A and B are shown apart, each in its own frame.
Chain A
Amino acid sequence: MIEMKTYMDLKKILTYLFLVIVLSGGVSCTDKLDQSPSDQFDKAKFWTNESNAMIGLTGVYRGNISYGTNVNPPDWWTYTGLILLEHATDNAFDRRGKNAAQNRLTNGTLLADNSVVESYWRGSYIRVAIANDFLENIGRVSMDAAKIKRMTAEVRFIRACQYFYLSQFWGAVPLVTKSLTPEEANVVTKAPKSEVINFVIKEFTEAAADLPRFKDIPAKESGRVSKQAALAFLGRIYLAEKKYADASQAYKQIIDLGDNIIDSDYSSIFNTVNETSSENIFSVQYSPVLAGNALTQHALPANKGGWHLVNPLESLAFEYDFTDGTPFSYKDPRFNPLNMAANRDPRFAATFLYDGCVFGGKVYDCNPDNNASVDQLTYSKQATRTGYGLRKFFDENFSGDLSTGYGGNIPIIRYAEVLLSYLEAELEGGKPISQSLLDITINKTRGRTSVKMPPVTVTDATALRPILRKERRVELALEGIRYWDLLRWGILGDVMQGDFWGASFPKSVKTGSKVDPTGNKRWYVDTKAFVKGVDEVWPIPQSETNINPGLLSK
């Protein structure tokens, strides 16, 4: 009887225990303690096949580029990294005013906590780390040796570009060529500038040898590095180092390869219409939505919902000659304040928004007297501060999401730069300048069908230098190269001084807060006072020396 009862109880108990276990899901326990992420690649298993290697390579190209609007440049190769650097030059003014970080690079208030300086620094080393990891592992992948060679060259090029920028703007920096542990990273020391430069030259030279020619890169791979891109960067570093013969040689190779052209149309190579033109040797690739270029948000005018950050200065606009090649003058009757592009180098209209121009079906009205216009020239509106806006890079028919929807690429190296740099290397290298040299360089950029400015015929080096520099400034306007040009020409400190002005509004009632001494009623923008001998070298970011005070040493 008792036994029976116990048995019944036991049966009941087992039943309920079973129920409870069913409730708890009957999960197997200890196995569950081994977990791995489902949305990342396991590093130990990754470097095995070609398709993964390609995925890793893509990651190197991506670097630290982030899509959508960026406050600070996450990477050199972004719209913020390239174009907003123009705010530190005499080409453009940051709508956010004198305290904006890019403006402070060159107005005499550059400090170690400058957010742009920190951002460029950080972005460079992020790319370096991704590249180092790739280079340390690509050898483990079993695939065609030729492909490994090409990928290695691409990654070495990308890494060398970071050191190119670091060496140009900071000089001596830590030269990291392998993956570090956090402990190692915190105590790195600076390599002398010369060591960094030598590294960059070596890397570009060797990468160029292993990279495919521009013409051999199929359309579906456009955006990948070519031999020409590596040679162009090699030319840049030689120019900066004043090794003009080497620079000439590098540029000459590109010209001799003959894969690239000066496109007949100037404006469409900067937007989605013709961005794959072979004039664009190497560009930051953008794509709508998934890899959007938020320059639209940051720089479109207010009437398009943009934030109008990029405001070209009059000092740039002034450089655009009249169509017959004579220098611009306000006194000249060909100057029409109601249509500033009239009778001017056609690149003016392709580069600027100016009062009264039509853009995207709307009139860009920045007249300082027009209170009703969102784009009125003021010191207060989220609109122009100079009377000019950015036109280059935009497809005026674009109507998507401003921060993610635009897919226009931004050129890093154009063939036009190669030609002008080649001429510069020849000129500065003391080589005799021939008309034929001019015709295959500067006259190509000026002479393209859509520009058709009269050819340059000056062969005297001293007289040619300002003409070449002006052509370079106009042709490459707002592409992010001016700061580096001023720096290596040694004139950054001279240029970034004194008052800067905006467009001339001779017929407007409202004037800027300072009277234009030239009597042209130009709108006052800002005054700069670059500290010569100091501000040419960017400070190591404060956030970095907070952690590694050793980097403060000279």
Chain B
Amino acid sequence: MKRNIQILFRKLSLITAAIFMVTAAWAQQNVSGTVVDDAGGALPGVTVVVQGTTIGTVTNADGKYTLSAPANGVLVFSFVGMKSISEPINGRTNVNVTLQVESIGLDEVVAIGYGTEKRVNVIGSVSQISAEIIENRPVSSLSNALTGQMPGVTVIQRSGKPGFDAGEIRVRGVGSFGATPSALILVDGIPGSMNEINPNDIETISVLKDASSAAIYGARSANGVILITTKKGKEGKISVAYNGYYGVSTPTEFPDLATSWEYAEMFNIANATQSYSAEVIEKYRSQSDPDNYPNTNFLKETFSRNGIKTNHDISINGGQKSNQYFLSAGYLSDHGIVENNDYRRFNLRLNLKTELAKTLTLTTRVAGSVENANEPTTTANRSPSGLEGIVVVADRYPAIYLGQASNGNFGAGPESAGTPVSWLASKGYFTRPVTKAGVNGQLDWKPINDLLLSAIGGYNFTLNEGRHYQASQILNPTLTLPLATLEQYKNSFIFKTMQFLAEYTKATGGHNFRVLGGYSFENEIAENFNGKRQNFPSNDYTVMSMGGVDLQEVYGNDAEWAIQSVFGRFKYHYNDKYLFEATVRHDGSSRFPENQKYGTFPSLAAGWRVTEEQFLKNAAPWLSNLKLKASWGVLGNQNIGNYPFQSTLASGRNYPFGTGMSTGAAYRTYKDPKIHWESTETKDFGLESAFFNGKLSLNVTYFDRFTYDVLYTPSSSVSSILGVGISETNMGEVKNKGWEFELGHQHSVGDFSWDINAFFTIINNELVTLGLGNVNQPNGMVGNGSDLFIGYPMQMYYGYQSDGVFMNQEDITKWANQTKVTPKAVPGDIRYKDISGPDGVPDGLVDATYDRTFIGSRIPKYNFSLNLSAKYKQFDFTAFLQGVTGVQGLLDSYVGWAFFNLGTIQQWQIDGRFKPESPVQYPEYPRLEIVTNSGTPNTVLSDYWILNASYLRIKNLQLGYNLPQSALQKVKIDNLRLYLSAENLHTFSNYREGWDPEINTGGSYYPILATFTFGVNVKF
């Protein structure tokens, strides 16, 4: 943002400077020179004035200037955003200077709801990042570029699958255990998402975190608002920019699965049988007959290649005063680490600003994207299908099964249904194209100087399509999988909005007023349709009409929601010193019943810029900025289903009487007829400061978010005696309190300049009450008995505390009676602690009633990151480190437990297992046993399995080189930068060997990827 504002001002100053030039004709001596910035780049548009005169000029596009001046004069070089320099001529005819960037922030403009505001005058908590931060990051989803970039904004990425690798964004903790606690994302004021947008189109991303900044979006702002502003056209000559990169990806972590002979040996131990004889094991080990005694690592066969990521982006920018345009086209291609798994996206955007009349401006934005995600799938008759269906088996099937024999035949697998190897080779596919088109227009009219009237209209169209063909396949001469199925869907969404705004601004004698009023209406209509056929005669004809007709299925439905709002904001500043703001929004939503439709969301904020006080200016000149601020407000959340209160009989409860199906419907869900808005009361106290002319800055914010009337679906808090599911109801309260720290430092020494930003966020998430689910557990905890308890964080694990394993029979006898959990304990079984009993003290009996407790949460308590950037002559370097701590994770089922449901075993389980012959009290893995899909006494949830998911990641390293201007000028290029970047380069963690700490799974997953890229940025 800052850079763009600079460029804008640069161009404006060119115009003003032109006026100077007219009056500067009568000087005495010609002086010329070049003005560069601290990176050595030419600075066009710098004003050069002879001190005490009106003589002056501006630098040209190459940063050069020439003027006539007295030989003993002093030249003053000034430029917005840079520190002015006074340079005595001392008789020289050539005066070159380098301008330093001025302390950040003071003149920075940030995007706020329905407008912009100077950074210094913002009272709310708004974090903003600009294009530079996200440019050149090889991420497909914008969300992952935000990780660690803003205090209070947590992004957790759970998958690396191309097209489906978006991170989950949470602003200041997890605000609700009911309605989805996700931020409202607005792209140029229109609700949108992070995934389809081209990161190169973005000018700024602004996150509104507190009540005063977000309340203008009332009903949907409780969990933060993310404002994405796309680039605008700029007056001036046409500028063309190209950005491109090519990168290679590999998993950050990869589990080490047992070889076939290790598996066989371990299986014999686990099953206490000689299922695999020594002779057979030897055949596996020697690999002399791999067709009959194979060693197949199905996971490696699945994640078999390096990913490749390519991005090309071209934008054209320019225009006259009356008409400015920004046109961009982007292409992203992301090849996953599985064959036939890729994601492609084309983006097109045109932003136009037209001055229709002196007082009338029309901004038109047209944007569209075409995405397509492809993945392989299983053959029919497998559930789950798709890539997940392949992976969940790839980390399960032991290496003793044949993938593909030397003669090309595929192994039948343990179920005669093939293996990941054969499925990957099948003709099946799963493709999911998404088409989006959006247009919005904004008409701004300034009938009088202080009044701005705007009308905004927007229309977005989304078409989600899917086509899933599961092929028939000949595995080998004796085994053919005959069934082929095709499933296809088309879901369309039409979103419309209409907004009217009026803003009146008045400034008199130090008093500044800004009053905003508005009306907004939004409506979305969804239409879904899908069909399925089986028995396709050939894998070459995979259109619906070619399928068998006797077993076809067709479904369809509609859904719609609407929201209508009026809102207002009043801002008052006195001498830029005392700041005050009040906001209110009144929302009506189709998701709430007649008497509960409307909600009102107010906020108040006040700020004091202490450094504007004269006494402080005198007393502490080193203090360049100090602002104290406080805000309060109530925000809403309605992120639930479209029809939460309408009491219905569920359709589709059909039953086959006779030979045909009879239509059926049944009471299946309890609905709360009095459901209303979920609300979050937010308090925010902050301090912003800068020292030594901005060399050092420190911001500290304390926030207190209290969510009540949580729109919770209390399924696990309601007895199954109710007999039906339960829909959202307003119950429960949750608190998120915490601190955000931002520490910045920037400086330069000679050609070397650097900029360091560190963020640290502490979030305390705590459940206050569950309403209906407040069950007084006999152990004294109050909660739903599974994952929500008063006084504990959400997303928690509730289970036993362990104390290693039983060493021997004596150990079992001496230990508390554990038969209620482990009816027949043997050495190597997990030893659970007897922590309480009916009298509140250990009762000698380990049971579910008294001995389970809080053993962790998936919500990170501490988030931290460090952004380092440095420049030296033509080189630039950035390092970005990010981490979380105070967080737990769990790997269970196929990837946590050996021999789970016919699954394999991992190396760490082999190495760390309890060995009866050399027992240790605290082995990494208990005794080996065969685990069914309903678990064993050792797999009940206990802290034995809870992992420390803290990590520190080298999220991104980037080294850039700017080709010197001298070389570029000849080819008429303004700027050419080459860079190397490494994303997710390395992670420090104590998580499970072979697993990325952000992965929480039972089997189906896609590794988080590390990407190494080479890129080019060109501007001409």
Cross-chain contact B902 with A405 (CB below 8 angstroms): no
Q: Is A145 an interface residue (CB 8 A)?
A: no
Question: Which residues of chain A are within 8 angstroms of B655 by Cβ–Cβ distance?
Answer: 58-59, 61-62, 65, 223, 285, 291
Instruction: Report yes or no: B666 in contact with A130, Cβ–Cβ below 8 A.
Output: yes
Q: Across the two chains, which residue of chain A brings its CB closest to B934?
A: A101
Could you give, for residues 358-396 of chain A, a 1 whenever the CB lies within 8 Å of some chain B CB and a 0 otherwise?
A: 000000000000011010001111110000000000000
Decide yes or no whether A143 CB sits under 8 A from chain B. no
Contacts of B362 in A (CB 8 A): 16
Chain A residue at minimal CB-CB distance from B650: A40
Q: A33-B562, A220-B657, A399-B482 are in contact. Are A54 and B662 (CB under 8 A)?
A: yes
A58-B721 contact given A35-B642, A68-B383, CB 8 Å threshold: no
* Residues of the B chain whose Cβ atoms lie less than 8 Å from the Cβ of A40: 643, 646, 648-651, 665
Residues in A whose Cβ lies below 8 Å from that of B940 = 113
A/B pair count, beta carbons within 8 Å: 369
| Closest residue on chain B to residue A407 by CB atoms | B656
**Residue of B at shortest CB range from A511?**
B274
Binds A, one of B456-464, B615-623, B746-754: B456-464
CB of A3 within 8 Å of the partner chain: no
Q: Counting CB contacts under 8 A, is B658 at the interface?
A: yes
Rounded to whole Å, the gap between the CB of A125 and the closest CB of chain B is 4
In chain A, positions 178-220 with a C-beta closer than 8 Å to chain B are 179-183, 185-186, 188, 218-220
Contact with A along B748-780 (1 / 0, CB 8 A): 000000000000000000000000110111100
A2 to B929, CA, bound (A): 93
Residues of B near A109 (CB, < 8 A) are 823-824, 937
Q: Given A41-B665, A130-B666, A547-B785, check contact A401 B723 (CB 8 Å).
A: no
A40-75 interface code vs B (CB 8 A; 1 in, 0 out)? 111110100000101111111110010011011000
Mask for A537-549, Cβ within 8 A of B = 1, else 0? 0000111111111
- Contacts A62-B664, A109-B824, A547-B775 known; A289 to B551 CB distance under 8 Å? yes
Determine, out of B352-360, B808-816, B1006-1014, the stretch whose residues face the partner at the interface.
B352-360
Q: Are B723 and A128 in contact (CB under 8 A)?
A: yes
CA distance A41 to B651 in the complex (A): 7
Of B267, B772, B776, B934, the contact of A380 (CB 8 Å cutoff): B267
Q: Are B483 and A99 in contact (CB under 8 A)?
A: no
A96-152 interface (Cβ within 8 A of B): 96-101, 104, 108-109, 111-116, 121-122, 125-130, 132-134
* In contact, A20 and B559 (Cβ under 8 angstroms): no
In the assembled complex, the CB of A550 is this many whole angstroms from the nearest CB of chain B, namely 10
Stretch at the interface among A242-250, A302-310, A488-496: A302-310
Chain A residues contacting B930 (CB-CB under 8 Å) are 97-99
Contact A129 B657 (CB under 8 A): no
Q: Contacts of A180 on B, CB cut-off 8 Å?
A: 721-723
What chain B residues lie within 8 Å of A69 (beta carbons)?
383
B918 contacts A by Cβ under 8 Å: no
Q: Which of B816-836 contact A (CB under 8 A)?
A: 820-821, 823-824
B670 proximity list for chain A (CB < 8 A): 181-182
Cross-interface CB contact of A543 among B561, B647, B786, cutoff 8 Å: B786
Please give the distance in Å from B422's CB to the nearest CB on chain A.
Answer: 13
Query: How far, in whole Å, are A435 and B153 apart by their CA atoms in the complex?
Result: 84
Contact assessment for A35 and B273 in the assembled complex, using a CB-CB cutoff below 8 Å: no
A256 within 8 A of B: no
Are B665 and A55 touching (Cβ within 8 A)? yes
Q: Are A182 and B722 in contact (CB under 8 A)?
A: yes
Q: A552 — which chain B residues lie within 8 A by C-beta?
A: 778, 849
Which of B775, B901, B937 lies at the interface centre, i.e. has the most chain A CB atoms within 10 A of its CB? B775
| Interface range, B side | 35 or more
Q: A99-B934, A546-B786 are in contact. Are A58 and B663 (CB under 8 A)?
A: yes
With a 10 A CB-CB cut-off, give which of B483, B661, B721 has the most chain A CB atoms: B721
| A290 and B656 form a contact (CB under 8 A) | yes
Which residues does chain B contribute within 8 Å of A24, judged by CB atoms?
A: 456-459, 496-498, 521
| Contact among B458, B496, B643, B660 with A35 in the assembled complex (CB-CB below 8 Å) | B643
Among A1-50, those with CB < 8 Å from B are 9, 12-13, 16-17, 19-25, 27, 29-30, 32-44, 46
Instruction: Report if A111-B820 is in contact (Cβ < 8 Å); known contacts: A27-B496, A126-B723, A183-B772.
Output: yes
CB distance A305 to B415 under 8 Å?
A: yes
B564 contacts chain A at the CB level, 8 A cutoff: yes
A32–B562 alpha-carbon span in the complex (Å): 6
Cβ of B209 to closest chain A Cβ, rounded Å: 29
B29 is an interface residue with CB less than 8 A from chain A: no
Contact B415 A25 (CB under 8 A): no
Assembly CA distance A129 to B359 (angstroms): 66
Query: Looking at the complex, which one of B380, B456, B661 makes contact with A287 (CB distance below 8 Å)?
Result: B661
Cross-chain contact A58 with B662 (CB below 8 angstroms) = yes
Q: Are B720 and A122 in contact (CB under 8 A)?
A: yes
Which B residues are CB-close (under 8 A) to A223?
A: 655-658
B647 CB contact (under 8 Å) in A32, A44, A111: A44
- Contacting pair B416 A112 (CB below 8 A): no
Q: Would you call B723 and A405 a contact (CB within 8 A)?
A: no
Of A13, A33, A100, which is within 8 A of B597 by CB?
A33
**Cβ-based interface call for A221 (8 A):** yes
A378 near B414: Cβ-Cβ < 8 Å: no
Q: Is B116 an interface residue (CB 8 A)?
A: no
Are A55 and B656 within 8 A (Cβ)?
Answer: no
Contact B653 A59 (CB under 8 A): yes
Complex Cα distance, B443 from A214, in Å, reads 74
Min CB gap A493→B, angstroms: 15
When distances are taken between beta carbons in the complex, the residues of chain A under 8 Å from B560 are 32, 35
Contact A405 B657 (CB under 8 A): no
A186 & B772 in contact (Cβ 8 Å cutoff): yes
Across the interface, A121 reaches (CB within 8 A) one of B456, B646, B656, B720, namely B720
Nearest-CB residue, chain A, relative to B717: A547
Q: Identify which of A40, A287, A383 gathers the most chain B CB atoms within 10 Å of its CB.
A: A40
Measured between beta carbons, the chain A residues less than 8 angstroms from B30 are: none
CA distance A53 to B647 in the complex (A): 17
Contacts of A379 in B (CB 8 A): 271, 273, 275
Check B415 against A307 for contact (C-beta < 8 Å): yes
Neighbouring B residues of A9 by C-beta, 8 Å: 357, 359-360
Q: Is B932 interfacial (CB-CB < 8 Å)?
A: yes
**What are the residues of chain B within 8 A of A44 when measuring CB–CB?**
647
Q: Are B714 and A380 in contact (CB under 8 A)?
A: no
Q: Does A222 touch B at the CB level, under 8 Å?
A: yes
Give Cα A236–Cα B815 distance, bound, in whole angstroms: 46
Interchain CA distance A549-B786 in the complex, whole Å: 13
Are A33 and B772 interface neighbours, CB within 8 A?
no
**A286 on interface, CB distance cutoff 8 Å:** yes
Q: Answer whether residue B207 sits at the interface, using C-beta atoms and an 8 A cutoff.
A: no
Contacts of B722 in A (CB 8 A): 125, 129, 180, 182, 185
From 350 to 376 in chain B, residues with beta carbon under 8 angstroms from any chain A beta carbon are: 356-357, 359-360, 362
Judged by a CB distance under 8 angstroms, whether A174 is at the interface is yes
In the complex, A179→B724 CA distance in Å?
10
A281 within 8 A of B: no
**B contact residues around A401 at 8 Å (CB):** 380-381, 483, 485, 534
User: Is A481 engaged at the interface, CB distance under 8 Å to the other chain?
Assistant: no
- C-alpha spacing A548/B564, complex, angstroms: 42
Report 7 cross-chain contacts, Cβ distance below 8 Å, ordered by A residue.
Answer: A61-B655, A112-B848, A129-B722, A374-B412, A379-B275, A401-B534, A513-B273
Extra 14 A-B pairs, beta carbons < 8 Å, given A58-B655, A130-B666, A186-B718: A27-B521, A43-B647, A44-B647, A56-B665, A61-B657, A114-B934, A125-B721, A185-B722, A186-B717, A188-B719, A223-B655, A291-B661, A371-B280, A383-B414
Residues of B whose CB lies within 8 Å of any CB of A are 267, 271-276, 280, 292, 356-357, 359-360, 362, 380-381, 383, 412, 414-417, 439-443, 445, 455-459, 481-483, 485, 496-498, 521, 523, 534, 551, 553, 557-564, 588-591, 597, 642-643, 646-668, 670, 714, 716-724, 726, 729, 772-773, 775-778, 784-786, 820-821, 823-824, 848-849, 901-902, 929-937, 940
**CB-based closest 8 A-B pairs:** A546-B785, A129-B723, A59-B666, A58-B664, A24-B498, A23-B457, A24-B457, A287-B656
